[in-house]
Amino acid sequence: MTVSTGDWPITVVETATSSSDLVRAAAADGAPEGTGFLVGRQTAGRGRRGRHWASQQGGMYYSVLLKPPFPSSRWFGLSFIACLAIRDVIASYLTDQTIGLKWPNDVVIAGRGKLCGVLIEVAGDNLIVGTGVNIAPVVPLADAPFEPVAMDDFGETSVAPHVLATAYKTQLARRYAAYVETGFAPVRAEWLSHCVHRRQVMTVHLADTAISGIFADLGEDGTLHLLADDGTTHHISTGNVELMGQV
């Protein structure tokens, strides 16, 4: 079982509702795997659970179409490989910062704030991997659960969005091909090596409740294992994480 990870094309669009909307439309027209769009400014960028993603000019807003040749039960791992791929690229520019990962899909700068988010959306039998990176400084949103930061906040590291997207898609394609062959185990181990909240106290906000405890582990199915004060271990597949200690 293999996937085609040749030269994935990137179409640059100045303004759109979101890069993922463009990929969704392309998928409906039969676009091949690897089709990607990079948008200069999104008018309706979004994050997990319908949150607005601030998308002013100067950031990287890139989405790509995937057509996984494996069961949907394995799709969860693609969020983790996307986070690892963009983390590697960002770390190659911010060499004096600790670039870490926060469950389930955020890239953060340790002790500073959120730099990047990944959103996986289903489009029929296809997946859309949307990734937003703050390059130029951003204005925080009032309802943001985690303080946003940008690459340019940390010195003369400015990189063009197209350059960042090109490096990222290369990393993502490589990791995607490896995931097809080797599965989640090596992804899980690498993700944990960059996790910024191992053994830290956190609160996970679910649809109608909140659970506090210590991050105990990342499950083999991508779930967060939270050890609550009463000794119960909760396996959480979705939720908003509020970190109580120093990230």
Q: Is the pLDDT of residue 244 over 80?
A: no
Residue-wise burial string across 194-213, b where 16 or more C-beta atoms lie within 10 A, e elsewhere? bbbbeeebbebeeeeeebeb
Structural domain boundaries in the chain: 10-194, 201-243
- Name residues whose C-beta falls within 8 Å of residue 119's C-beta, 6 or more positions apart in sequence: 20, 46, 47, 48, 105, 129, 130, 131, 132
**What is the rounded average pLDDT of the residues 137-144?**
69
According to the per-residue pLDDT averaged within each range, which of 45-59, 157-171, 230-244 is highest? 157-171
> What are the angstrom distances between the C-alpha of 207 and each of 49, 61, 238, 239?
10, 28, 9, 8
Which letter does DSSP use for residue 99 in this model?
E
Residue 136 in contact with residue 44, Cβ under 8 Å?
A: no
**Secondary structure string (H, E, C) spanning 222-241:** CCEEEEECCCCEEEECCCEE
Q: Rounded to the nearest 5°, which phi and psi values hold at 242?
A: -110, 115
Q: Which of 17, 31, 236, 222 is nearest to 130 (CA)?
A: 17
Architecture of domain 201-243: Roll (2.30)
Instruction: Label residue 112 left, alpha or beta by phi (over 0 means left) and psi (-120 to 50 means alpha).
Output: alpha
**What is the rounded average pLDDT of the residues 110-128?**
91
Q: What is the pLDDT of residue 238?
A: 79
Do 10-194 and 201-243 show the same overall fold? no
**What is the rounded average pLDDT of the residues 92-113?**
92
Tokens (6 digits) for 167: 């490096």
Read off the pLDDT of residues 44-63 as tens digits, 9 standing for 90 and up. 766 554 455 556 788 999 99
The helix (H) or strand (E) run that includes residue 109 is strand 106-109
Tokens (6 digits) for 177: 């091909």
Q: Is the pLDDT of residue 239 over 80?
A: no
CA distance 34 to 37: 10
- Name residues whose C-beta falls within 8 Å of residue 68's C-beta, 6 or more positions apart in sequence: 3, 74, 75, 78, 127, 180
pLDDT grade for 30, boundaries at 50, 70 and 90: very high
Regarding the domain delimited by 10-194, which CATH topology (the fold level of the hierarchy) does it fall under? BirA Bifunctional Protein; domain 2 (3.30.930)
Burial class (CB in 10 A: 0-12, 13-18, 19+), 129: buried
Q: What pTM does this model have?
A: 0.90
- Name residues whose C-beta falls within 8 Å of residue 142's C-beta, 6 or more positions apart in sequence: none
Answer with the residue of higher pLDDT: 141 or 182.
182
In the chain, what percentage of residues exceed pLDDT 70?
88
Least confident of 16-30, 80-94, 148-162: 148-162
